[in-house]
Structure 1
Amino acid sequence: MIWASKINKVRTLALLLTFLGIGVMYFGFIWPGWMVFFLFLGILVIFSSVGLYFWIGILSLKAVQVECPKCGRITKILGKVDQCPYCKVYLSLDPAHASKEPADAVSGSETESSANGSAT
């Protein structure tokens, strides 16, 4: 996909719902007899977007922060496996799901747990 992390995917979906709600409201200008219907339908779509933004904001507060082994930036992980939003490398808290990067991609001074994307 184009987006990297799960948080960014949900935020992008919420933004698309906002634009979709505004687009639905514009259909009221095409069919003036249905203007009130399209206005309320658009408002419902925008409220669902607001709910989605609120939900992902709550999840983002509870997400685990890790340091990416490839780019060194701090990022948040939702679930067991997620992607770094900057370099798109897969990060995992579970060693069984760790990315299979070559040993030379990670500097020799880092430990095995930080190379797997574990919390430090």
Structure 2
Amino acid sequence: MIFKSSKVNEFRLWGLLLTMGGMALMIVGLAGIVFNWGTIGKIIAGIFMVIGMIAMLGSMAVYFWAGMMSTSAVPLQCPECGKVTKMIGKTDRCMFCKTILTVDRRYAPSEKSDNELASTPNQN
């Protein structure tokens, strides 16, 4: 459950990865100029700069999309931690404690409580 997160945070994570990847590609591309590889180095730098710029523009699109979804998300109070979190769709996770949240009882996780488990006879 460590790697599970709310949907808004997942989109933000992909935006961050695209940003970092785009910057890394642009930095790697500059090696063609820094190490003075001549004409082929300038071509490599140009190609990597364009690919990095496309990744950065993709990051901007993902962040914009996450922001638009965040404005239309349903704010509700988490029953576990008590903090106000945003929910997208029929089920989502709390942004803070990762508890599964839903507004529809059909999608609620079915878990037996400790009292129900203790009162169930052993079937050995």
TM surpasses 0.5: yes
Kept after mapping to 2: 8 A contact 1:3/1:85: no
TM-score, normalised via structure 2 length: 0.76
Give the CA deviation at 1:67: 0.9
Is 1:43 matched with 2:44? no
**CA–CA distance in 2 between the matches of 1:28 and 1:69?**
49
**Rg (Cα) greater in structure:** 2
1:53 to 54, 63, 69: 63
Give the aligned partner of residue 2 of structure 1: 3
Aligned length: 104
Q: CA deviation at 1:28?
A: 1.6
Q: Structure 2: give runs of 5+ residues left out of the alignment.
A: 33-40, 115-124
Secondary structure at 1:36 match in 2: helix
Provide Cα deviations, 1:57-91, integer angstroms capped at 9, x if missing partner: 00000000111111111111111110112111100
**How big is the shift at 1:100?**
3.4
Give, in whole Å, the separation in 1 of the partners of 2:29 and 2:80: 50
Q: TM-score by structure 1 length? A: 0.78
User: What are structure 1's unaligned runs of at least 5 residues?
Assistant: 105-120
Shift of 1:2: 2.0
- Are 2:91 and 1:90 aligned? no
**Sequence identity, in percent?**
37
Inter-partner Cα distance in structure 1 for 2:107 and 2:65 = 26
Match of 2:109 among 99, 105, 109: 99
Equivalent position of 1:75 in the other structure: 85
1:15 matched to 2:16? The reply is yes
Partners of 2:25 and 2:85 in 1: CA distance: 35
**1:29 aligns to what?**
30
